[in-house]
Amino acid sequence: MTQDILLTPGPTPLPPQVREALGRPIIHHRTSSYRALFKRAMQGMQTAMQTSQPVYCLTSSGTGAMEAAVANLLSPGDAAIVVLGGKFAERWQSLCKAYGITVVPIPVAYGDVVDPQAVADALAAHPKAKAVFTTLCETSTGIVNDIQAIAAITRKSQAVLVVDAISGLLADECRTDEWGIDVVVTGSQKGLMLPPGLAFISVNARAWALVDRATCPRFYTDLRLYKKSLADDDTPFTSAVPTVVALDEALKLILQLGVPQMIQRCALMARATRAAASALGLTLFSTRPSNGVTAVTVPGGVDGKQLTKIMYDRSRVMVAGGQGDMAGKIFRFAHMGFISPEDVLAGVAALEGALAELGYKCERGKGVKAAQAALGRQAAAAGATR
Amino acid sequence: MTQDILLTPGPTPLPPQVREALGRPIIHHRTSSYRALFKRAMQGMQTAMQTSQPVYCLTSSGTGAMEAAVANLLSPGDAAIVVLGGKFAERWQSLCKAYGITVVPIPVAYGDVVDPQAVADALAAHPKAKAVFTTLCETSTGIVNDIQAIAAITRKSQAVLVVDAISGLLADECRTDEWGIDVVVTGSQKGLMLPPGLAFISVNARAWALVDRATCPRFYTDLRLYKKSLADDDTPFTSAVPTVVALDEALKLILQLGVPQMIQRCALMARATRAAASALGLTLFSTRPSNGVTAVTVPGGVDGKQLTKIMYDRSRVMVAGGQGDMAGKIFRFAHMGFISPEDVLAGVAALEGALAELGYKCERGKGVKAAQAALGRQAAAAGATR
């Protein structure tokens, strides 16, 4: 008689329309009706990714699209600037190293964001760097980088800007074309309200010039093959067909609400969560918090791993703990995709209960009340209730 | 008021249990209950792949696992023997070339199989070749190679044997450990009765010795990461969770019937299809036909593309045409996974109708009768009815 309430930053809950689509009898992908669906879905992805550039669809986790970016843009021995500051930012570094790319790292403390000036300085010091790799929402620390400011710098340089928007898309603003981001990668299991298994990459003309010259070996991630297939509304390798069919359904929901409204909905839930944390005397881990995920510092004297375990055991509310060095030190509430304001209230209530059980002194109900107030004040304006 | 009857070699129809599992509320993958499910599924895959070696699960199409084999076993400049003879055999060649591997091709005519002696000769001529890449069922031509004979040769050499069993697994016999196949790759959307989106690779100790030394760049396909994660019943990158949950359901069906019985079921349907083709005066394209897919030569005077189109338009039966150079020259009936003897009869009836419409002279009903007889004669013994 229980059902998990997922407040985790992927997988996120699935709308009933998506679940229904996943369970349909499978259709063949080399048919005109599937091609029409795929074409519509890729056009929807252009809207979601705020770009008029083509979007390529890989059957992989988000990391597959990150690897596609590295392997298609660069050649062994090239230099690339990598903005650090979290587990996923570090993945860019691991990927570059795997492909023999010389990494110019920009160190960033966990919980902090990069100073855009540091990117400008790195580009000035390494004028031959071919790419800057960075992250919109760093899922592991709950920050959102100032991509607009970074893009204003990179578009004046020789380097292309590649942004990991896997957890940030549809939660934090990401104006791909308007800001001049050359490559954006994202995944299915966050703001898109789908299961894991699809990844997407947009590539503008500036970046394509690199794709044609890059010599890193690639096949499954070779964007030249995806480009050729997209001309026929197809993919070079068999797609995860039901997830594409479900994407078409998810995009109907997203486009009906609107991309700005999707983002506002997340922003509202993020504000409510931050208000609750503050009311409970807790501090945020992030200096520039994302709308997609709120990272809170575990208060002194409280066992962070027990905290998330108790929230799940007592209330079936699943939040994420800290990853790697941050394990036990932070916990994270996601707000992306189909997560609802009601889920946020359930999460805050579960948090209050777990904190009390672990001996943390706070007034029960104060967090929920603050979250309610934050949601109530702005729910009508943002159209965020369902 | 219509539903497609898929007789295509992937995607194949989904059992209701699989569709139900795909549509469930999503669960989080970093939980003990999911880990237990994943562990059970990977053990089931060992049974399905007839190996006691670990099986690694990638979220990708089958090609992702093929790429994993190339990139993890070899280093740029290594030589590898590639058995040709079809579109998917040629994919091994494309993959090897993408990674700077020197390919020693063994040419095989479309519709024919490799003479195992040709593999022995190639190994004798190229004693430094590190791997032999071949295919169990070549989906594009409907043949099954004699993997047992090839493995008897490769196990006496320095080279490891890598078999693409993407469409062959659970249709044609593939005794991984008993025959001494070092690496087997497969995909989810064929005999496993799942949607596309997962790929699997088994690697024995002989092959692992190469993985540890290989220098091809790889990250998403890096089997060292998958090995490390498998120790915790996990994957290094977020899996397509619902497809893994559905795999657990599909494996229940497969293991309940039994792996030999799954293969016999396909063999029975293949025999029935071949009997029907013969009764209609048609000839097989394949010299050594697979149980997974039957390729039939389009008779003279008949437009092959119209033939498959009419079968679909009139009867909603979808068979595959020929790929590449074989387009319009052959058509292919699949027998794998959840495809049933009843689907085969519907397919043969649709074929008869389309042939008649295109002016091919044959007695209506003769093909269906031959298929019925083939199924009836042996259905009880093979336990193939459902």
List, for residues B122-175, the tens digit of each pLDDT value.
999 999 999 999 999 999 999 999 999 999 999 999 999 999 999 999 999 999
Q: What is the pLDDT of residue A377?
A: 60
Q: Is the pLDDT of residue B249 over 70?
A: yes
A62-73 vs A87-98: helix axis angle to the nearest 10?
Answer: 40
Give the residue-averaged pLDDT of B365-384.
77
Amino acid B1: pLDDT: 83
| B128 alpha carbon, distance to own chain's centre | 29
What does R_g of chain A's alpha carbons equal in angstroms?
Answer: 21
What element of type H or E holds A160? strand A160-164
The predicted pLDDT at position B379 comes to: 45
The arithmetic mean of pLDDT across residues B232-255, rounded, is 98
131-190 of A, contacting B, C-beta below 8 A:
187, 189
B147 and B29 within one domain: yes
The packing angle between helices B259-279 and B366-382, to 10°, is 160
CB–CB contact B27 A4 (8 Å)? yes
What is the tens place of the pLDDT at every residue in A313-347?
Answer: 999 999 999 999 999 999 999 999 999 999 999 99
Max Cα separation, chain A?
A: 62
By the CB < 8 Å criterion, does A67 face chain B?
Answer: yes
Q: Are A75 and A217 in contact (CB under 8 A)?
A: no
pLDDT tens, B259-282? 999 999 999 999 999 999 999 999
Report ipTM for this prediction.
0.96
- Which tokens sit at B27? 């669960």
Q: Determine whether the interchain pair A64/B239 forms a contact, defined as Cβ–Cβ distance below 8 Å.
A: no
The pLDDT value recorded for residue B295 is 98
Q: Are residues B34 and B143 in the same domain?
A: yes
Q: Peptide bond before A15: cis, by omega within 30 degrees of 0?
A: no
Q: Give the residue on A whose Cα is nearest the Cα of B32.
A: A309
Question: Residue A70 sits in a domain of what CATH number?
Answer: 3.40.640.10
Is A6 domain-assigned?
no
Interface test with B, best of A5, A38, A60, A189 (most B CBs within 10 A): A60
Q: How far apart, in whole angstroms, are the C-alpha atoms of residue A92 and residue A244?
A: 26
Q: Which of A19, A30, A59 to mutate to test the interface with B (most CBs of B within 10 A)?
A: A59
Q: Are A218 and A314 members of one domain?
A: no
Last residue within a domain, chosen from A256, A280, A314: A256
According to the model, what pLDDT value does residue A350 have? Answer: 98
B242 touches A at CB < 8 Å: yes
The minimal CB distance from A196 to the residues B14, B217, B240 is found for B240
Residues of B in contact with A3 (CB under 8 A): 25
Residues of B in contact with A76 (CB under 8 A): 217
Q: Identify whether A337 is part of a domain.
A: yes
Residues 316-375 on A with a CB inside 8 Å of B are 318
- Which tokens hold the place of A329? 């030190």
Q: What six digits make up the tokens of A307?
A: 């905290």
Residues B110 and B193 in one domain: yes
Min CA distance, A207 vs chain B (Å)?
21
Give the three-state DSSP class for A56: strand
* B321-342 average pLDDT score: 97
Give the model's pLDDT for residue A385: 45
Chain B contact for A33, CB < 8 A?
no
Looking at the structure, tell me whether residues B198 and B211 fall in a common domain: yes
Task: Report residue A114's pLDDT band, with 50, 70 and 90 as the boundaries.
Answer: very high
For tokens 């928007």, name the residue. Answer: A165
Q: What is the rounded distance in angstroms from the CA atom of residue A71 to the CA atom of residue A130? A: 13
> What are B92's two structure tokens?
């091994």
Interface of A with B in 42-61 (CB under 8 A): 59-61
Residue entry with tokens 């540091």? A118
Strand partners, B5: B317
Record: contact A28-B22, CB cut-off 8 A: no
Task: Please tell me whether residues B209 and B272 are part of one structural domain.
Answer: no
pLDDT of residue A2: 85
Task: Say if residues B356 and B302 touch (Cβ distance below 8 Å).
Answer: no
Residues 6+ apart with CB under 8 A from A200: A45, A49, A55, A56, A57, A58, A65, A185, A186, A187, A188
**Nearest residue, CB atoms, B219 vs list A94, A196, A197:** A94
- Whether B169 contacts B41, CB under 8 Å: no
Residue B3 lies in a domain: no
Instruction: List pLDDT tens digits, range B332-352.
Output: 999 999 999 999 999 999 999
Q: Which of A59, A187, A195 is the closest to B61 by Cβ?
A: A59
pLDDT confidence of residue A263: 98
Domain enclosing residue A168, as ranges = 16-256
Closest alpha carbon within chain A to B64: A220
Cβ distance of B243 and A197 shorter than 8 Å: yes
- Taking the C-alpha atoms of residue A80 and residue A131, their distance in angstroms, rounded to an integer, is 5
Rounded CA Rg of chain B: 21
pLDDT above 90 as % of chain B: 96
CA-wise closest residue to A147 among A177, A104, A122:
A177
CATH no. for residue B345? 3.90.1150.10
Nearest chain B Cα distance for residue A204, angstroms: 24
Is B81 a domain residue? yes
CB A189 within 8 A of CB B238: yes
- CB neighbour list of residue B267: distance below 8 Å, 6 or more residues apart: B291, B382
- Both tokens of B81, joined, read 């023997």
Domain boundary among A191, A225, A256: A256
| Closest Cβ opposite residue A11 in set B100, B221, B241 | B241
Both tokens of A195, joined, read 């299961």
Domain boundary among A232, A256, A280: A256
Q: Which of B12, B20, B61 to mutate to test the interface with A (most CBs of A within 10 A)?
A: B61
3-state SS, chain B, equals: CCCCEECCCCCCCCCHHHHHHHCCCCCCCCCHHHHHHHHHHHHHHHHHCCCCCCEEEECCCHHHHHHHHHHHHCCCCCEEEEECCCHHHHHHHHHHHHCCCEEEEECCCCCCCCCHHHHHHHHHHCCCCCEEEEECEECCCCEECCHHHHHHHHCCCCCEEEEECCCCCCCCCCCHHHHCCCEEEEECCCCCCCCCCCEEEEECHHHHHHHCCCCCCCCCCCHHHHHHHHCCCCCCCCCCHHHHHHHHHHHHHHHHHCHHHHHHHHHHHHHHHHHHHHHCCCCECCCCECCCEEEEECCCCCCHHHHHHHHHHHHCEECEECCHHHCCCEEEEECCCCCCHHHHHHHHHHHHHHHHHCCCCCCCCHHHHHHHHHHHHHHHHHCCCC
Residues B71 and B176 in one domain: yes
Amino acid at B143: I
- All residues at 6 or more sequence positions from B362 whose CB lies less than 8 Å from its CB, including other chains: B280, B281, B352, B355, B356
User: Which residues from A are below 8 Å from B64, CB to CB?
Assistant: 59-60, 64, 220, 237
User: What distance in Å separates the CA atoms of residue B17 and residue B68, rounded to the nearest whole number?
Assistant: 30
B176 CA to chain A: closest CA distance, Å? 25
β-pair partners for B81: B104, B132
| pLDDT for A382 | 47
**In this model, does residue A155 exceed pLDDT 80?**
yes
Average pLDDT over residues B47-70: 98
Q: Of A4, A28, A90, A220, which to mutate for an interface test with B (greatest number of B Cβ within 10 Å)?
A: A220
C-alpha A95/C-alpha A103 separation (Å) is 10
Residue among A223, A274, A302 nearest A58 (CA): A223
pLDDT at B380 over 60: no
- Decide if pLDDT at B291 tops 60: yes
SS3 A193: coil
H/E stretch holding A211 reads helix A205-211
pLDDT at B384 over 50: no
**DSSP bridge partners of A202:** A55, A184
**Would you put residue A53 in left (φ > 0), alpha (ψ -120 to 50) or beta?**
beta
A42 and A100, same domain (yes or no): yes
Dihedral, A222, B58, B163, B63 alpha carbons, nearest 10 = -20
- Is residue B245 included in any domain, yes or no? yes
Interface subset of A 13-32, CB within 8 angstroms of B: 13-14, 19-20, 22-29, 31
The whole-number pLDDT of residue B381 equals 45
Same domain, B161 and B306: no
A98 neighbourhood in chain B, CB within 8 Å: 217-219, 222
- Total domain count, chain A: 2
In a domain, A193, yes or no: yes
Q: Which residues of B touch A189 (CB under 8 A)?
A: 238, 241
User: What element of type H or E holds A200?
Assistant: strand A199-203
How far apart (Å, rounded) are the C-alpha atoms in residues B264 and A370?
A: 64
Work out the pLDDT band at A1, boundaries 50, 70, 90.
confident
Tell me: pLDDT of A199 over 70: yes
Separation of alpha carbons A106 and A239, rounded Å: 36
Per the structure block, which two tokens stand in for B146?
A: 């004699």
Q: Is the pLDDT of residue B10 over 70?
A: yes
Q: In whole angstroms, what is the distance from residue B311 CA to residue B293 CA?
A: 17
Report which of B64, B318, B222, B242 is spatially closest to residue A236, judged by C-alpha positions.
B64
Q: Beta strands A143-144 and A137-138: pairing type?
A: antiparallel
Smallest Cα distance from A302 to chain B, Å: 22
**Between these two residues, B2 and B189, which has the higher pLDDT value?**
B189
**Residues A275 and A238 reside in one and the same domain:** no
- CA atoms within 13 A of residue B362's CA, in its CB half-sphere: 25
Q: Give the list of residues 6+ apart from residue A108 with CB closer than 8 angstroms, or none.
A: A83, A84, A85, A86, A89, A114
pLDDT of residue B377: 60
Query: What is chain A's mean pLDDT, rounded?
Result: 96
| Residue of B22, B26, B222 with shortest CB distance to A23 | B22
A330-339 tens-digit pLDDT: 999 999 999 9
Contact list in B for residue A239 (CB cut-off 8 A) is 61, 196-197
Q: Are B264 and B336 in contact (CB under 8 A)?
A: no
Beta-strand pair B330-334/B293-297: antiparallel
Contact B11 A26 (CB under 8 A): yes
In a domain, A3, yes or no: no
Place of tokens 């670990």: B54
Question: What is the Cα–Cα distance from A162 to A154, expressed in whole angstroms?
Answer: 10
Give the model's confidence band at A380: pLDDT under 50 very low, under 70 low, under 90 confident, else very high: very low
Other C-beta atoms lying within 10 Å of the C-beta of residue A3: 8
Closest listed residue to residue A338, CA positions, set A144, A186, A189, A122: A189
Alpha-carbon gap: A240 to the closest alpha carbon of chain B (Å): 5
In A, which residues are within 8 Å of B6 by CB distance? 26, 28
Residue B272 shares a structural domain with residue B377: yes
Q: Quick one: B137 and B209 in the same domain?
A: yes
Cβ-nearest to B98 among A8, A187, A218: A218
B78 interface with A at CB cutoff 8 Å: no
A103's enclosing H/E stretch is strand A102-106
| pLDDT exceeds cutoff 70 at A386 | no
Residue B383 clears pLDDT 50, i.e. is over it? no
Residue B287 within any structural domain of the chain? yes
Both tokens of B247, joined, read 């795999």
